[in-house]
Structure 1
Amino acid sequence: MMHAVRVGLLLLSSIFCGVHSWTQENAYRQKTVAATNNPIQLDSLSIAPNSIIVRCGERIILPYEYVIDYSKGTFQLYNPCSEELKISYRVLPFLFSRNYQLRDTSIIYNENKGDREKYLITPTLEPIDLMGVNGLRKSGSISRGITFGNRQDLSVNSSLNLELSGYIAPNLQVLASVTDDNLPIQAEGNTNKLQEFDQVFIQLFNDQFKLTAGDFWISKPDGYFLTYKKRGQGLTGEYYWKKDKTGSIKTQVSGALSKGKFNRQIIQGVEGNQGPYRLRGNENEPYIIILSGTERVFIDGRLMSRGQEFDYVIDYNTSELTFTAKNLITKDIRIVVEFQYSDQNYARSLFQFSTTAQSKNLDWWINAYSEQDAKNQPLQQNLTNDQKFLLSKIGDSLQLARYSVIDSVGYSENLVMYQMVDTLGYDSVLVASVNQSFAYYKAQFSYVGPGKGDYVFEKFNAIGRVYKWVAPVGGISVGDYAPVSLLITPKRQQLFTAGATYRLNDRLKLTSELGMSGYDLNTFSTVDRFDDRGFSMRTKIEHSNPFGRKDSIQAWSWKKQAEIEMLDPYFKPIEQYRAVEFDRDWNTRNQNYTGNQVLSTLGTSIENKNYGRIGINAQQYKIGSSFSGLRTQFLTNWKQRGFNVNIDASYLSAKNDNTNQFLRHRADISKQIKKVRIGYKDDQEWNRFIQGDSLLSLQSYSFFDYQGYLAFGDTTSGELLVSYRERIDGRSDSTRLRNAAKARTLRAEWTKNNWKNQRLYIVANYRELKILDTTLIMQAPENTTNGRIDHDIKFWKGAVNLTTFYEVGAGLEQKKEFIYIKVNDGQGVYTWNDYNGDGIKDLNEFEIAAYADQASYIRVFTPSNDYIKTYSNEYNQSLTLRPERVWGSKTGVRKVVSRFSTQTRFRLQRKTNIFDGARAYNPFVGSIDDQSLISTANIIKNTVYFNRTNNIGGGDYSYESSKTKTLLATGFDGKTKESHEFNARLTLLKKFSIQSQFETGLKTSSVDYTSGRNYRLHYWQLKPSLIYQPNTSLRFSLDGRVIKKRNDENLGGEQADIYDIGFTGKFNQTEKGSLQGQFNLIRIAFRGDSNTPLGFELLEALKPGVNYVWSLGYQRSISKSLQISIQYNGRKSEGNKVIHAGGMEVKAFF
């Protein structure tokens, strides 16, 4: 027996050693595959999760651009790239999607089943609880609660959060995320991967189908003309059928409410401005919300990556785009942003259908997409019958859809209200008022342009913008706002495509596709229907001819292609399907050419799988009779013997109203010499528009942008890149192109990845712009600097952790506007104190609520179009020192030192409007009173601990300094705080413990838009506590607090002395519940005016004299999955009635 055991152990060890050896030596894979939208079987084994890296040329494909099934080893790209895919990954030693069995399970059943059934004991079956299904993983809760009090209205709150995954049948899985939270924000766009807060869905799936109800994404199907990436809320289903190896069919059908509307915005970079750049809607809406993860950002035709460590960050809620120091933004940068944004004018539905079939020689597809506004379900605009009649008559002339938006709604203290008066011989003039007897008009003002309105923006108060009427001068309007609104028309957009690819043989392939679009700008109207329908066609023939020796490793091929694409004048794609700079390549951007479009292409290339390709294309592009162009393009992507050559050169000759000649040349040529790469790069354009015989149009321009660079190392372990760059811009003086500006740029970039426990990234740019001829270019000379240092390091066995981030640059700072919105009592953050008793909600009358019953308002920032040029720097650093990791087991001095640990954190952000070395680069310099300081957010905190993890006793000392300054539309708001805090704790006789806290510091507030908020407050406080805890169920504490607060005499000299004594008791039973009560007696000696913002701060929302504050909370676990909570709070001040507030909540856990 023992011998058998030894043999078994030896065999088991051999297996595990073999697997380990196989994993180390043979798990790594690297493949090159053609770029396609079709699923690719990468391997016959399962892929190790998160091990895959995909490259399209030199660009890394990000995870959201493809889908991978790790267990099956399959990969599918959403959008094809222009080059072959290079995929590296690691595999596991098994294919986990395959069923493994030793014997056939059917043989375990006895054929004589009838004789055995009468002896079989069958347990009583009980109804299956959904939450108890075997194989389901679940988490979350559902709760319902109410809050009430004698100073607040009754309010009800509820929440549902459920996450579910697992098998509900042998061949059926479920994945669900359900919540009823209506979050007003989205994930922050400062990371590469987003946390989707608002995805609510239930999904059923197996190997052949997937059905999703709720929130989902749909993206580009097979084909050419139909391109989209949409978020919907509804139902989508996919079915995949495969017949052996001969063919397959994949079908997807979706019906949903569309969560977004597509827009494509072209932005010209501003010299030295990294952002933010404001994105607008398709109807030029200035304030929109971008749907998270839907954006694609291009710089000069190159796709950028989102994230603070990559190319850009985006604020989805304010639709602002900011670029990092990796890309220096200048006047020469071309930015294109494609995105989806929330459109709440109408309920918007979408329908999508796609079917793709693949066989040995033939692939075909049929796609349909329809998206339309429900004209009878407006959301943000309530259309009257008169307004609908107006929209029905204007057809596609949307500029005529202006309508007065003055509405008599009755007085409301939470809205800006107007009364109608007659003045200076003019009637029906709106005047802002709080007179409840007359101010019952609500108006919506729109910017109509200088001299086109009779109102101007007057001020900004706590509930919104206020506008003022200005009298016309000589009968001519002098305002720029009017109480009108541009009515948004309901729209419908559709596209149907059908196409096929037929492989005549291994070398010859024919692809053709037809498309039909529908685009109705105004579904209320039957006018202008002639341009709603459009058609398209594309046919492409490709031929590949391999040549060379069959046994040669240099697999050469000669490829030829011919292509024709035809669009009628009214064809409208869902999203841009052509290359991002197609219209710029042909000089058709913003030209509004109309007519049938015909694009013909002939191309040929020589390709080698080891070296690359060399090709040439000849193209002709016609748009009706208004444009005709011929373009020749030469493309090279070649690597051989250390040389890497990339060239994209083209020449365009076009005729429209003018004659156009456009020469473009982009090249990147480098040579690798061991670990050094020497390179040259250029970007050149020569674009001439000739009017008549010889007159040069002012549209004509030229530039020559060239650079040389040196790179040391490689991109895997680390690389140092140094470059020098020059650019010369030419402009037309109507006779010739003359040099107008010259720029020089120095750049250094260092990435280090192969250091142990350390990561480093440094980039620095310096650009000098000179204007050579001020008559040709409207641009001031400017010097620009930006850069970044990003460093993480761990050493001394992890006892020391240091992270550093430092960035400098230039950009814009928005003047922030905010309003306060009334919500249910107890569910807000702010409280309103009518300090001056005029009944008007002023900005300086809102404070952060100290008690729940006061919290009746929330503050919402509203974007503005007012920006200031700033120079910014940001410095973040954290240092953690924990000697106990190394010396915890030592003796003597090292043991004593190991009892100490420290944590230091710096987070400093500054923006100033003056450029000089100290202000622009030094994050520590200056005070908030500096007039050149536009905004700052600084926090410095250091804590030193002693015996941090010791249960007997310990202590700590903390120093904290914070400074904030915010630029508002009404002025500046600045606050500072500096404090020293000491904490000590000591356990006595196991049941008693003493805790003590002492803090001293200074708080200041400085604002220039209102009075009563400027102070300089010195304070100190002592908080001793005696705690008695006889066991784990009971805990009692006697707490004291003494606070002294003094304002500077020259700012008012207010002061408050607070004496607080309290008792807290808590009873807890494990898995049953807890009961907690607290009572505090607070006596306040106060000097000053209590009905001011400073008085509210000094009194901590209480009243001078004796105050009583108490609370009682009870929580009971009725079962393992059901919990009830009851909370009661009360307080009493001298001369005031008792305030009661409470609430109850029931929560069930899944």
Structure 2
Amino acid sequence: QIIKSVINLQKGNQLSIRYGLSSYERISLYEGRQHYIDAKYNHKGWNMIALGKYLESEGYGKNSLFVRPKINISKTINKLGGWTIEYGYEQEKNEVIQTVDQSLQDRSFDFNINRFIIENNQDNQLTIKIEAKQRSDQLPINGALVESIKTNELSAESKWKINDSNNLKWTLGVRDFEVIDQEAIDQQSKTTILSRIAYNIKLWNGLLSSTMNYDISSGQEPKQEFTYEKVEPGQGNYIYIGNSSTPEEDELFLYEYSEIDTANYIKIFLFNNEFIRTNNQSLNISLRINPHKVIKNKKNFFRKFATNHSIRFNQKVEDNGEESNFQPLNFSLDNVSLTSYRSLIANTLFFNRTSTAFDIQLGNRLTENRNVQIVGIEDRGLAEYFSRLRFQIISATDFIVNVKTGTKTYESNFFSQRNFHIKYWNVSPEINWRPTANWRIISSYQYDTRLQQLSGMETANSHDITFESTYRRASKSSYNLSFSLVNVEYNGTANSTIEYDLLDGLKDGKNYLWNLNITRRMAKNVDLNISYDGRKTGISPIVHVARAQVKATF
């Protein structure tokens, strides 16, 4: 049996109240009654919204009570320039009791939230918002709901729109998480912070534009334990070197580039309840200089230049309480409490960037990555300088030359036999032909030389000839076919760790690689992807890897 009734009261746009009562009954099995109210009031700057639900039921061996009131009251003071004061309250209580022994079920809970906000008119040039919030959680202990957690939060945010192309935004938040009863929850009391400063600027009609973001936060990192599991070739991220039936961690290598179709091990993380509290900070800066924004004479030489610059730092430092070594804006690798570190510095100079006739690029890229694991420190680094020249031979045909030189490093405290310091240089001319708007054919040659500057001083020289064809029909299908012949000269030990790092998974001698990838739109939101990779490296047998995937987007 179902019964519903609703009462509506309304006074213009100033006041509206809606009350409802409903009941549901299955004789001798279940009986439930729900009350709800929805009230709104708006008059002379006062605004109130009240929502509430009250549900009680008996049946199936349980009595339950569910309560959810929510109220927001705000007042806008126009005489003070549109400042608004707001108070909010919210509760949710779910109490379930077994009728046999009147015991409280473990899934019962009760929380209360009180919120206070003060803010000015958000259409102002300078906006400010301050919020204070308190939450109290009651959890079941010994047959009763007992206050177990109390959380206090204070946050502030502001946005200053200096002009149409220059604005500053910042946020700052502090959260105090207090565990009152350790029996109810297996967590520790802690204080966390979250802050962010973002500055966007555009000067001289766009000649110079920049974005800067700096973030500080608190968090926790799991103590990572892992193992390796063998999978089908091409389905993994690691490859094993050696003859053991139980590979050790230092004998497994993360794939890079061409190793993807033979990697047959995956790393599985073993979850545990051990965490490390961390203080985190990140800095991102991008700068773009475009002289063509202010130089209108198209024949002016300096108008053809442009530059892009990027700086990124990300650091996590262990929070050791009073002995914490966290220092804002200090991204040094020398911090003894460091748990992880990432950095990137990239610069690119463009000349004649928008021209279809020719263009030139010069740049460099510096990266540093550090992970602090239980077994020690692991560092990876890259320092690369590059140039790119493109000019149009005839219509729809470009000649492109890429040159790169740099060093790639890896250092591990525990697995020192894996360390490398590789210096490399390569040049790659290619011809890029577009017979139609949908079809592209590329033929390229690459000469690459590499020197391991540690231990055995191994060297590798390679000659790579590649042909690639791509055909695309917008929103319908794409076809990509490639074939590469790579002749490698390597003077080091076969099946060693440095061989994989120097040769990217290839072997001494002739290496053949081919690939076919087909993507087809089967329906409006369904794509079919079929790929096939083949390789013949050195004297190793041919490897074939085929994949099929259906992707549906909802």
Q: TM-score, length-normalised on structure 2?
A: 0.66
The answer to whether the Cα contact below 8 Å between 1:1012 and 1:1094 also exists between their aligned partners in 2 is no
State how 1:215-294 maps to structure 2 within 5 Å.
Answer: none
Residues 355 and 903 (structure 1 numbering): CA distance in 2 closer, same or farther, change over 3 Å? farther
Query: 1:920 aligns to what SS in structure 2?
Result: coil
Candidates 261, 264, 283, aligned match of 1:875:
283
Asked whether 1:838 is paired with 2:244, we answer yes
Cα distance in 2 for residues equivalent to 1:998 and 1:1104: 23
Residues 354 and 830 (structure 1 numbering): CA distance in 2 closer, same or farther, change over 3 Å? farther
State how 1:1055-1074 maps to structure 2 within 5 Å.
Answer: 1055-1065=459-469
Deviations 1:1005-1035 (A, max 9, x none): 1223434322222111111113455555765
Query: 2:409 aligns to what SS in structure 1?
Result: strand
Q: Partner residue of 2:215?
A: 807
Deviations 1:796-853 (A, max 9, x none): 3345432111134555443333444555544x341331x3422114333142263554
The answer to whether the Cα contact below 8 Å between 1:873 and 1:920 also exists between their aligned partners in 2 is no
Cα distance in 2 for residues equivalent to 1:1004 and 1:987: 37
Residues 801 and 576 (structure 1 numbering): CA distance in 2 closer, same or farther, change over 3 Å? farther
Deviations 1:288-318 (A, max 9, x none): xxxxxxxxxxxxxxxxxxxxxxxxxxxxxxx
Residues 537 and 872 (structure 1 numbering): CA distance in 2 closer, same or farther, change over 3 Å? closer
State how 1:911-922 maps to structure 2 within 5 Å.
Answer: 911-913=316-318, 920-922=327-329
- Larger deviation, residues 1130-1139 vs 1066-1075: 1066-1075
State how 1:703-742 maps to structure 2 within 5 Å.
Answer: 716-718=124-126
Shift of 1:999: 0.8
Q: Partner residue of 1:816?
A: 224
Cα distance in 1 for residues equivalent to 2:306 and 2:503: 37
Query: 2:205 aligns to what SS in structure 1?
Result: coil
Shift of 1:357: 2.8
Query: 2:297 aligns to what SS in structure 1?
Result: coil
Cα distance in 2 for residues equivalent to 1:896 and 1:712: 50
Q: Partner residue of 1:971?
A: 376
Cα distance in 1 for residues equivalent to 2:510 and 2:537: 6
Residues 1034 and 756 (structure 1 numbering): CA distance in 2 closer, same or farther, change over 3 Å? closer
The answer to whether the Cα contact below 8 Å between 2:192 and 2:219 also exists between their aligned partners in 1 is no
Shift of 1:948: 1.9
Shift of 1:951: 1.1
The answer to whether the Cα contact below 8 Å between 1:766 and 1:786 also exists between their aligned partners in 2 is yes
Shift of 1:860: 4.3
The structure number with the bigger radius of gyration is: 1
Q: Partner residue of 2:169?
A: 761
Asked whether 1:847 is paired with 2:254, we answer yes
Cα distance in 2 for residues equivalent to 1:1002 and 1:909: 22
Residues 1079 and 863 (structure 1 numbering): CA distance in 2 closer, same or farther, change over 3 Å? same
Candidates 507, 515, 534, aligned match of 2:56:
515
Cα distance in 2 for residues equivalent to 1:355 and 1:792: 58
Cα distance in 2 for residues equivalent to 1:369 and 1:573: 26
Candidates 535, 538, 545, aligned match of 1:1134:
538
Q: 2:400 is matched by which residue type in structure 1?
A: Q
Query: 2:418 aligns to what SS in structure 1?
Result: coil
Cα distance in 1 for residues equivalent to 2:547 and 2:309: 40
Cα distance in 2 for residues equivalent to 1:1028 and 1:580: 64
Count of matched residue pairs? 459
Q: 1:872 is matched by which residue type in structure 2?
A: N
Structure 2: runs of 5+ lacking an equivalent: 10-17, 38-51, 70-94, 131-153, 176-189
The answer to whether the Cα contact below 8 Å between 1:825 and 1:856 also exists between their aligned partners in 2 is yes
Asked whether 1:1078 is paired with 2:482, we answer yes
Cα distance in 2 for residues equivalent to 1:830 and 1:1012: 21
Asked whether 1:357 is paired with 2:5, we answer yes
Deviations 1:353-393 (A, max 9, x none): 997531358944236799xxxxxxxxxxxxxxxxxxxxxxx
Q: Partner residue of 1:217?
A: none
Q: Partner residue of 1:28?
A: none
Query: 1:1024 aligns to what SS in structure 2?
Result: strand
Asked whether 1:1089 is paired with 2:504, we answer no
Candidates 363, 366, 390, aligned match of 2:22:
366
Asked whether 1:990 is paired with 2:371, we answer no
The answer to whether the Cα contact below 8 Å between 1:874 and 1:923 also exists between their aligned partners in 2 is no
Residues 796 and 1033 (structure 1 numbering): CA distance in 2 closer, same or farther, change over 3 Å? same
The answer to whether the Cα contact below 8 Å between 1:1080 and 1:1109 also exists between their aligned partners in 2 is yes
Cα distance in 2 for residues equivalent to 1:871 and 1:1068: 47
Query: 1:921 aligns to what SS in structure 2?
Result: coil
State how 1:456-855 maps to structure 2 within 5 Å.
Answer: 496-499=32-35, 515-516=56-57, 533-534=62-63, 570=103, 576=109, 579-580=112-113, 716-718=124-126, 751-753=159-161, 755-762=163-170, 788-808=196-216, 811-823=219-231, 825-826=233-234, 828-833=235-240, 835-844=241-250, 845-848=252-255, 850-851=258-259, 853-855=261-263
Query: 1:797 aligns to what SS in structure 2?
Result: helix
CA RMSD of aligned residues (A): 5.0
Q: 2:297 is matched by which residue type in structure 1?
A: K
Q: TM-score, length-normalised on structure 1?
A: 0.35
Cα distance in 2 for residues equivalent to 1:829 and 1:761: 43
Residues 870 and 1026 (structure 1 numbering): CA distance in 2 closer, same or farther, change over 3 Å? same
Shift of 1:1044: 1.6
Cα distance in 2 for residues equivalent to 1:498 and 1:765: 38
* Identical counterparts, % of pairs: 22
The answer to whether the Cα contact below 8 Å between 2:96 and 2:108 also exists between their aligned partners in 1 is no
The answer to whether the Cα contact below 8 Å between 1:875 and 1:923 also exists between their aligned partners in 2 is no
Residues 1005 and 890 (structure 1 numbering): CA distance in 2 closer, same or farther, change over 3 Å? same
Query: 2:365 aligns to what SS in structure 1?
Result: strand
Cα distance in 2 for residues equivalent to 1:1034 and 1:512: 62
Cα distance in 1 for residues equivalent to 2:155 and 2:551: 58
Residues 1119 and 809 (structure 1 numbering): CA distance in 2 closer, same or farther, change over 3 Å? closer
Q: 2:424 is matched by which residue type in structure 1?
A: Y
Cα distance in 1 for residues equivalent to 2:314 and 2:254: 25
Cα distance in 1 for residues equivalent to 2:155 and 2:525: 60
Shift of 1:721: 9.3
Asked whether 1:866 is paired with 2:274, we answer yes
Cα distance in 2 for residues equivalent to 1:369 and 1:1056: 81
Q: Partner residue of 2:292?
A: 884
Q: Partner residue of 1:1021?
A: 426
Q: 1:760 is matched by which residue type in structure 2?
A: L
Q: 1:881 is matched by which residue type in structure 2?
A: I
Residues 495 and 1043 (structure 1 numbering): CA distance in 2 closer, same or farther, change over 3 Å? farther
Q: Partner residue of 1:692?
A: none
The answer to whether the Cα contact below 8 Å between 1:1019 and 1:1046 also exists between their aligned partners in 2 is yes
Query: 1:1098 aligns to what SS in structure 2?
Result: helix
Shift of 1:996: 0.7
Q: 1:1079 is matched by which residue type in structure 2?
A: F
Structure 1: runs of 5+ lacking an equivalent: 1-352, 371-493, 502-510, 520-531, 541-565, 582-636, 638-645, 647-667, 671-710, 723-745, 768-781
Shift of 1:1103: 0.9
Q: 2:57 is matched by which residue type in structure 1?
A: M
Residues 364 and 1000 (structure 1 numbering): CA distance in 2 closer, same or farther, change over 3 Å? same
Asked whether 1:944 is paired with 2:349, we answer yes
The answer to whether the Cα contact below 8 Å between 1:814 and 1:967 also exists between their aligned partners in 2 is no
Residues 367 and 1059 (structure 1 numbering): CA distance in 2 closer, same or farther, change over 3 Å? farther
The answer to whether the Cα contact below 8 Å between 2:96 and 2:107 also exists between their aligned partners in 1 is no
Shift of 1:954: 0.4
Shift of 1:748: 9.0
